[in-house]
Amino acid sequence: MKVCIYGAGAIGGYLGVQLAQSGADVSLVARGAHLAAMKDKGLKLLIGDEERVVKVKATDTPSELGVQDFIIICLKAHSITGAIDAMKPLLGSHTRIVTAVNGVPYWYFYKHGNQFEGRTLESIDPGARQWNELGPERGIGCIVYPATELEGPGVVRHVYGDKFPVGEASGETTTDVQNLSKLLEAAGLKAPILDRIRDEIWLKLWGNVCFNPISALTHATLDVIASDPATRALAKAMMLEAQQIAETFGIKFRVDVERRIEGARKVGAHKTSMLQDLERGRPMEIDPLVTVVQEMGKMTGIPTPAIDAVLGLVIQRAKVAGLY
C-alpha cells in the first residue's frame, strides 16, 4: 500500500518516521527549509534519548508521487482547501483520505443521518470545495492524541502519546479502515477502530474549543487555565454550550465536563497549539476549533454566548498579530 503524508510537519513527520521504519511505502509532502533538510540528511525523530533517522521520498510537488492508497492529511485544517488542486494527482478510484487534523473534518455530515445529512460547514470547508472535490466518501476519521514539536528543519521531537483512533463515517468496520489500523499498529502506534468516531472527535474538540482560545488570550498553560477559578469557569461555560450542540447531533460523551477539565489540568504546564502558533507568528486554527462550533450552534438553534465572546476576542487578537 502506498501512503502519502500530506503535511509532514511535527505530527506528519512523527507518522512518517514510524511508518518508514516499519517498512511501509511512505512518501512525504512538505516545503521550505524543512523539506530541504529532509532531502539532504533525512528526517530525524527524537524520542526520549533515542534518535531515529529515515530517508524517504519527500517533495513539494505531489504529482511526482502518483496515485496513493491512503493520503494522511496532517496539515493545519485551515490549509486544506488551498492544497486541493495539488492533492488531486494523488487520487485514484480507491484512494482514501485520512483526516488527521484538529477540529471537525469536512466529511462530518456524510452518512450522519437525520436532518443534518449531507450538510457542509463553511467555517472549515469554504464553498464546500473539500466535500465536492475530494469527496466525503473518501474520508476516514483519525484523532491525533500525541504531542510532537518541530525542533528545527528535518527534526521532530516526540513529547508524549502514540494513539491515533480511526473510524469510518458510517461506523462500519471496512477493509480499508482495517488496513489503515494494521498499517499504523505495525508502525508501533495504537490505532483502535471506533464505530462512533464522531464521539471521539467531539471529546478532543471539547477541550480545544475553550483551552486553545483562552490560552491565546492569556498566554497561560493548561494547568493554569484549568486551576484559576475565572478561566476554569469560562472554559466550563464554553464546554457546556458545545456539549448541548454535540448532543443534538447524537454525540455521547464518555466523561463529564469536570473530569475533562481535570484531565487538561493534569497535563501540566503545556502550551496549546494555538498559543504556540501565536508565539511563532503562524496562522492560528481559530475556525476549525472555535468558529465551527459557533456555526453548528447556529445550525441547531442553540445560543453560544460564551463561545461567541471568546471567539470575537481571539479573532481580534489574531488580527492585531496579522495571523487571521
Instruction: Round the CA-based radius of gyration of the chain to a whole number and report it.
Output: 19
Residue 286: its H or E element:
helix 286-286
Place of cell 480511526: 166
Distances (CA, A) of 215 to 27, 85, 135, 228, 284: 34, 34, 34, 12, 12
Supply the DSSP string of 212-274, one letter for each residue: HHHHHHH---HHHHHHSHHHHHHHHHHHHHHHHHHHHTT---SS-HHHHHHHHHHH-SPPPHH
Note the Cα 149 to chain centre separation in Å: 14
Which residue type, as a one-letter code, is found at position 288?
P
Provide the 10 A C-beta neighbour count for residue 301. Answer: 8
Taken in order 86, 88, 91, 95, the sign of the CA dihedral is positive
Catalytic status, residue 204: yes
Distances (CA, A) of 189 to 18, 101, 164: 8, 17, 7
Residue 140 β-bridge partners: 98, 168
CA–CA gap between residue 61 and residue 70 (Å, rounded): 17
Catalytic: which of 2, 39, 190, 204? 204
Taken in order 71, 75, 76, 78, the sign of the CA dihedral is negative
Catalytic sites, residue numbers: 204
